[in-house]
């Protein structure tokens, strides 16, 4: 199956070497500043889009560029009690959440066809008194169905239905599916003109297999807390022997985790494409009643499925026959309780947050109810909300400005491909053909999703959630046998993210992401190219990273490289992976250079591509000097400004272990590989970030 991936120079002008002290960087130049900003409106940050008050003059750019650009901000800001991180992205998120709340609270009178559904869905999630009155009643039918699992066929049916007991997160990384045998529908990566069904690993409650299997002190602490959480949830739901049930559920999850593929191994796209016929499931993954499973999953008529991790499917199927049904009933019951908890009485909501917020992310306080309601309504009716968001908060001029920048970034990428000394003409031609076919979409999905069949009942929060999950199941299964909808998005217009999709050969930039400091329509071009231009380049380059480069110009998994060119590309990628392996954000915990390789390639290629595009946009004229800053300096300062953030230790630890993105501070370290950064900030040998020219990684 193909799963959407996220997300995030030649011709350099000569720039003077400058002192590391910000006084030298930001000396006044009012005449130049006035000339450059006369036709622009007010910027969100400073006079031209940069927050120069954040700079720490005690830090040399060549020693720690992240802290040079953001050091004063880091010293004077704290993480809000209801967040695990705080920074540029979180600030945008807060702004968008407030905007979206206003939309949801007024949706009934907005004139939107889905306005009443939006309003009722949101209102049910914030009615604390009603949730308390309803108590366990909404959950009881789910628990009764689980209690009736007394046969292998019934277990298979429940495992199939469990696939859909979650709504997708349009804002980024997805949690592991609740079912150990999670089915779905996606574009066939070898025949991208059709949809095909498939299966992937899931079914564990901790963030990753290594939390169960790797005995670091932090992992042991986390899983001990998880066992306590399991018992508390059973007790809240009225079960006897809560501790015993928790022990059995944990043991079953650990067994499932042992069959999981590691995150690094799971990045290899071609190894996730394993066609299984119906007969293959019985032969290669015995132990489950597959006929009952596929009927309940809505895949009874599918002759072939793509299995992402055959070893995980085989392990879960074996557990279905070897683990007592009583243990499986407890396992299924906990998943029903977990699905209910965020919209249950206060005790459930607090326990759910205590583990998932405080323990996993280190967040001290539970968010107010309206913030959770916004997130959940976005997941259920996000594109309907997005129609209103686009009307209110994304003017056509902003769309046009970003679209123009994407054209410039594509042109810059084309020039970089043409200028590669190590790539042969045949491979260059294939790369350029792919770039030519790449579509860029800005704002949101052009044809909004149809929610006509989703029934939303006033005051029925958990029922609405279950119906939204069933709606999503029907929507996804309805793709089978239909033409590929190339205009579909997995994000909403208000999503704070950007994505690249290799099989659809397109990149997407939602309106919600296009806010300062990522994008400011009134900012200096150097600032916008260092911010959103770098993101555009990042997403374009995902089509050419270590996995995206395996897809051809039609979106098919097809090796279009000569062996010699592929070897050179892989050598450069290996160099970048080794560079990131050396970074140690927490004592004893290094970044995994292979897990983060695709995103790191995207960051480096996007940064260099955006710098080229900025230079080209000047049309041969010199960049103005603003507040003593050259164009290139403003570009790099803007890049680092977008990454400023504070993060709680538990959240940082979880990110390093599970997220393909490097933490923001180390994403900023990509400047070490860009020659123009050295020239712009006078970085010299002996400074901590200095790399000799031969040690700088160059990819694309």
> pLDDT, tens digit, for every residue of 484-496?
999 999 999 999 9
Q: What is the mean pLDDT of residues 266-295?
A: 97
Answer whether 22-81+406-453+523-695 and 139-343 agree in fold. Answer: no
Give residue-wise pLDDT tens across range 154-212.
999 999 999 999 998 988 777 889 999 999 999 999 999 999 999 999 999 999 999 99
DSSP 623: P
The set of residues, in sequence order, having a beta carbon less than 8 Å from that of 519 and lying 6+ positions away, is 398, 402, 513, 528, 531, 532
> Is it the case that residue 674 has pLDDT exceeding 80?
yes
Lookup: tokens for 65: 């560029």
Give residue-wise pLDDT tens across range 287-334.
999 999 999 999 999 999 999 999 999 999 999 999 999 999 999 999
What pLDDT sits at residue 29?
34
Number of H helices, E strands in the chain: 29, 9
The set of residues, in sequence order, having a beta carbon less than 8 Å from that of 134 and lying 6+ positions away, is 345, 462
First-to-final CA distance of the chain: 27
> Is it the case that residue 598 has pLDDT exceeding 50?
yes
**Cα-Cα-Cα-Cα dihedral sign, residues 67, 71, 75, 81:** negative
Residue 518 banded pLDDT, cuts 50, 70, 90: very high
Alpha-carbon distance values, 31 to 35, 45, 630, 631 (Å): 6, 19, 14, 16
Q: What is the mean pLDDT of residues 448-470?
A: 97
CATH code reported for the domain at 139-343: 1.10.1380.10
> If you search the block for the tokens 């450069």, which residue do you land on?
572
| Per-residue b or e along 214-247, where b marks 16 or more CB atoms closer than 10 Å to that residue's CB | eeeebbeebbeebebbbbbbbbbbebeebeebbb
Residue 40 banded pLDDT, cuts 50, 70, 90: low
Q: For residues 87 and 642, what is the distance between their CA atoms, to the nearest angstrom?
A: 8
> Is it the case that residue 35 has pLDDT exceeding 60?
no
What pLDDT sits at residue 171?
82
> Helix, strand or coil for residue 273?
coil
Q: What percent of the chain has pLDDT over 70?
A: 94
Lookup: tokens for 135: 């108590």
Q: For residues 600 and 661, what is the distance between their CA atoms, to the nearest angstrom?
A: 7
What pLDDT sits at residue 1?
33
Q: What is the mean pLDDT of residues 68-91?
A: 97
Prediction pTM value: 0.92
Residue 255 banded pLDDT, cuts 50, 70, 90: very high
The answer to whether 49 touches 523, Cβ cutoff 8 Å, is: yes
Judging by DSSP bridges, how do beta strands 195-200 and 304-307 pair with one another? parallel
Dihedral class, residue 98 (left if φ above 0, else alpha if ψ from -120 to 50, else beta): alpha
Q: How many residues does the chain have?
A: 700
Q: What is the mean pLDDT of residues 601-622?
A: 97
The H-or-E segment that residue 200 falls in is strand 195-200
Q: What is the DSSP string of 9-62?
A: -TTPPP-----SSHHHHS---HHHHHHHHTTS---SSTTTS--GGG--TTS-TT
Q: What is the mean pLDDT of residues 566-571?
A: 96
User: E-assigned strands of 362-511?
Assistant: 439-443, 499-501, 506-510
Q: What is the mean pLDDT of residues 229-235?
A: 98
What pLDDT sits at residue 175?
81
- Of 412, 420, 414, the C-alpha closest to 433 is 414
517 cis-preceded (ω within 30 degrees of 0): yes
Pick the CATH number of 22-81+406-453+523-695 from 3.30.470.20, 3.90.650.10, 3.40.390.10, 3.20.20.80: 3.40.390.10
Task: Give the residue with greater pLDDT, 54 vs 176.
Answer: 54
Give me the residue spans of the domains in the chain. Answer: 22-81+406-453+523-695, 139-343
Q: What is the mean pLDDT of residues 638-651?
A: 98
> Helix, strand or coil for residue 322?
helix
What pLDDT sits at residue 172?
72
Average model confidence (pLDDT) for the chain? 93
What pLDDT sits at residue 481?
96
> Is it the case that residue 21 has pLDDT exceeding 70?
no
DSSP 185: E
User: E-assigned strands of 640-684?
Assistant: 645-647
């Amino acid at each position: 199956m193909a799963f959407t991936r996220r997300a995030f120079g030649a011709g350099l002008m000569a720039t003077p070497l400058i002192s590391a002290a910000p006084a030298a960087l930001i000396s006044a130049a009012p005449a130049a500043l006035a000339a450059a900003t006369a036709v622009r409106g007010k910027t969100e940050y400073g006079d031209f889009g940069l927050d120069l008050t954040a700079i720490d003059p005690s830090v040399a750019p060549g020693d720690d560029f992240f802290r040079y650009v953001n050091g004063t901000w880091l010293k004077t800001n704290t993480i809000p009690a209801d967040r695990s991180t705080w920074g540029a992205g979180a600030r945008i998120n807060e702004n968008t959440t407030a905007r979206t709340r206003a939309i949801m609270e007024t949706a009934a009178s907005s004139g939107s066809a889905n306005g009443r559904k939006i309003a009722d869905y949101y209102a049910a999630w914030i009615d604390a008194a009603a949730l308390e009155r309803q108590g366990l009643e909404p959950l009881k039918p789910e628990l009764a169905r689980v209690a009736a699992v007394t046969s292998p066929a019934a277990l298979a049916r429940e495992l199939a239905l469990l696939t859909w007991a979650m709504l997708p997160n349009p804002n980024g990384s997805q949690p592991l599916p609740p079912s150990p045998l999670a089915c779905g529908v996606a574009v066939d990566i070898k025949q991208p003109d059709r949809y095909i069904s498939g299966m992937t690993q899931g079914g564990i409650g901790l963030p990753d297999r290594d939390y169960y299997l790797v005995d670091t002190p932090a992992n042991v602490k986390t899983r001990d807390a998880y066992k306590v959480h399991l018992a508390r949830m059973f007790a809240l739901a009225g079960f006897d022997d809560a501790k015993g049930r928790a022990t059995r559920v944990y043991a079953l999850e650990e067994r499932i985790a042992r069959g999981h593929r590691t995150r690094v191994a799971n990045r290899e796209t071609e190894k996730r494409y394993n066609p299984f016929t119906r007969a293959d499931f019985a032969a290669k993954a015995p132990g489950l009643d597959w006929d009952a499973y596929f009927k309940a999953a809505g895949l009874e008529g599918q002759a072939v499925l793509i299995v992402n991790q055959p070893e995980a499917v085989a392990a879960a199927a074996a557990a279905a026959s070897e683990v007592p049904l009583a243990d499986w009933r407890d396992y299924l019951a906990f998943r029903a309780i977990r699905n209910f908890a965020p919209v249950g009485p206060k005790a459930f909501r607090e326990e759910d947050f205590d583990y998932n917020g405080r323990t996993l992310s280190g967040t001290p306080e539970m968010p107010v109810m309206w913030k959770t309601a916004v997130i959940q309504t976005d997941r259920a009716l996000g594109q309907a909300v997005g129609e209103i968001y686009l009307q209110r908060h994304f003017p056509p001029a902003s769309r046009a400005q970003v679209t123009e920048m994407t054209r410039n970034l594509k042109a810059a990428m084309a020039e970089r491909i043409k200028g590669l000394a190590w790539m042969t003409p045949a491979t260059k031609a294939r790369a350029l053909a792919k770039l030519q076919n790449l579509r860029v979409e800005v704002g949101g999905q052009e044809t909004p999703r149809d929610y006509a069949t989703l029934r939303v009942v006033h005051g029925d929060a958990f029922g609405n959630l279950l119906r939204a999950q069933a709606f999503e199941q029907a929507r996804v299964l309805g793709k089978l046998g239909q033409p590929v909808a190339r205009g579909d998005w997995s994000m909403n217009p208000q999503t704070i993210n950007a994505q690249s999709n290799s099989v659809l050969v397109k990149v997407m930039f939602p309106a919600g992401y296009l806010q300062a400091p990522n994008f400011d329509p009134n900012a200096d071009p150097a600032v916008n190219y260092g911010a959103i231009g770098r993101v555009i380049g990042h997403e374009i380059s995902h089509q050419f990273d270590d996995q995206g480069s395996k897809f051809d110009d039609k979106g098919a998994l097809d090796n279009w490289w000569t062996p010699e060119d592929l070897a050179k590309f892989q050598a450069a990628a290996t160099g970048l992976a080794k560079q990131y392996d050396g970074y140690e954000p927490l004592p004893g915990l290094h970044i995994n250079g292979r897990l983060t390789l695709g995103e790191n390639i995207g960051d480096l290629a996007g940064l260099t591509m955006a710098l080229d595009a900025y230079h080209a946009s000047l049309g041969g004229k010199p960049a103005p000097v603003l507040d003593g800053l050259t164009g290139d300096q403003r570009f790099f300062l803007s890049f680092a400004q977008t990454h400023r953030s504070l993060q709680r230790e538990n959240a940082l630890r979880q990110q390093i272990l599970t997220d393909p993105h490097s933490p923001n501070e180390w994403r900023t370290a990509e400047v070490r590989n860009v020659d123009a950064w050295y020239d712009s900030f006078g970085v010299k040998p002996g400074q901590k970030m200095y790399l000799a020219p031969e040690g700088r990684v160059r990819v694309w």
